Amino acid sequence: MISSTRAHQLRGAKHVVVFTGAGASAESGIPTFRDALTGLWEHFDPAKLATSDAYRDDPALCWGWYEWRRHKVVKAQPNEAHRAIADLAKRVPKLTVVTQNVDDLHERAGSQDVIHLHGSLHSPRCIDCGKAYTLPFTPEALPEDGSRIDPPRCTACHGYVRPGVVWFGEMLPEDAWSAGLAAAEECDVFLSIGTSGVVYPAAELPLRALGHGATVVHINPVRFDISGREHFLQGPASVLMQGLLSEAFGDLSAQ
Ligand code: APR
């Protein structure tokens, strides 16, 4: 049950930050980052695959993994959590969506100006000269469990094309990080949805919000330790986000 306090705080908020992790896309059928990998990838640690070393060691294995993930995103649909987040933007004076996800499901649900801290599967670039590369919208029909795929070559310098995501050990895009940090430090309500909160600096954002007195609410089916000043709504994002909005703003379907 969503507490009326939480709903009241959301209703009266001036600036809400919605901070999402892989759990926000889980109900769209996108495996979370730390879900056990299957098929070709089941013996790999995602944290090892998502590195520039792995890519240089075996470009076809890594590019195949990212194309397999992109294929899942293209076939997926935004879920009720994405839609509730897009709807929330119409009900509060200011909403900033900051995501760790590399899919475009927030945008496809109607959210605008989404801040992607870890890049996007839809913005590959040359690993050598950085030139943007345009991928075919739907990747070739891929085997369900993925396959090795030789990466395309840059049209300018013939270098390998790499995924447009932030790999472990790489800096976050400066403009995305600055915008996410500014929003966390200005907001009065911070909803952290579907993230394990173990990867920094992204995981710093809820702490910054808490630090200046914002109401911080975690939404996750798996309970984890939080400080006494944070709130926890345990359950799936789609159910809890819809519940939070209808508690705060009434029956949404009627409006
Ligand atoms: N609703 C809400 N949360 C969910 C749901 C759901 N339906 N299903 C799973 N979760 C939660 C899990 O309990 C877990 O806490 O989503 C979280 C997903 O955690 P991770 O897989 O660690 O993903 P994330 O937190 O986004 O990882 C952060 O780490 O490796 C990097 O770049 C990668 O962006 C990723 C970042």
Protein residue whose Cα sits closest to atom 13 of ligand 1: 222
Residue among 18, 34, 105 nearest 70 (CA): 105
pLDDT above 90 (res 10): yes
pLDDT above 60 (res 254): no
Protein residue whose Cα sits closest to atom 35 of ligand 1: 100
- 38 confidence band (pLDDT: 50, 70, 90): low
Which atom of ligand 1 has the smallest separation from the CA of 22? Answer: 26
Instruction: State pLDDT tens for residues 81-135.
Output: 999 999 999 999 999 999 999 999 999 999 999 999 999 999 999 999 999 999 8
Instruction: State pLDDT tens for residues 92-107.
Output: 999 999 999 999 999 9
Question: Quick one: tokens of 82?
Answer: 């994405």
Instruction: State pLDDT tens for residues 59-88.
Output: 999 999 999 899 999 999 999 999 999 999
pLDDT at 213: 96
Mean pLDDT on 222-232 = 93
Please tell me whether 18 is known to bind a ligand. Answer: no
**Which of 30, 73, 83, 196 is the pocket-test mutation for ligand 1 (most atoms within 8 Å of CB)?**
196
Alpha helices by DSSP H, listed for 116-223, are 174-186, 204-211
pLDDT at 142: 74
pLDDT above 90 (res 20): yes
Protein residue whose Cα sits closest to atom 5 of ligand 1: 23
pTM: 0.94
| Residue 74 alpha carbon to ligand 1 centre in Å | 19
pLDDT at 144: 73
Chain Cα centroid distance, residue 144: 23
| Residue 25 alpha carbon to ligand 1 centre in Å | 9
Which residues on adjacent β-strands are paired with residue 217? 191, 231
> In sequence order, which residues have a C-beta less than 8 Å from that of residue 246 and are 6 or more positions away?
252
| Residue 195 alpha carbon to ligand 1 centre in Å | 4
Phi and psi at residue 37, in whole multiples of 5°? -80, 150
Distance CA 156, CA 136 (A): 18
pLDDT at 136: 79
Domains and CATH numbers, the chain: 1-30+78-118+172-255 (3.40.50.1220), 31-75+121-165 (3.30.1600.10)
Instruction: State pLDDT tens for residues 125-163.
Output: 999 999 999 987 776 677 777 789 999 999 999 999 999
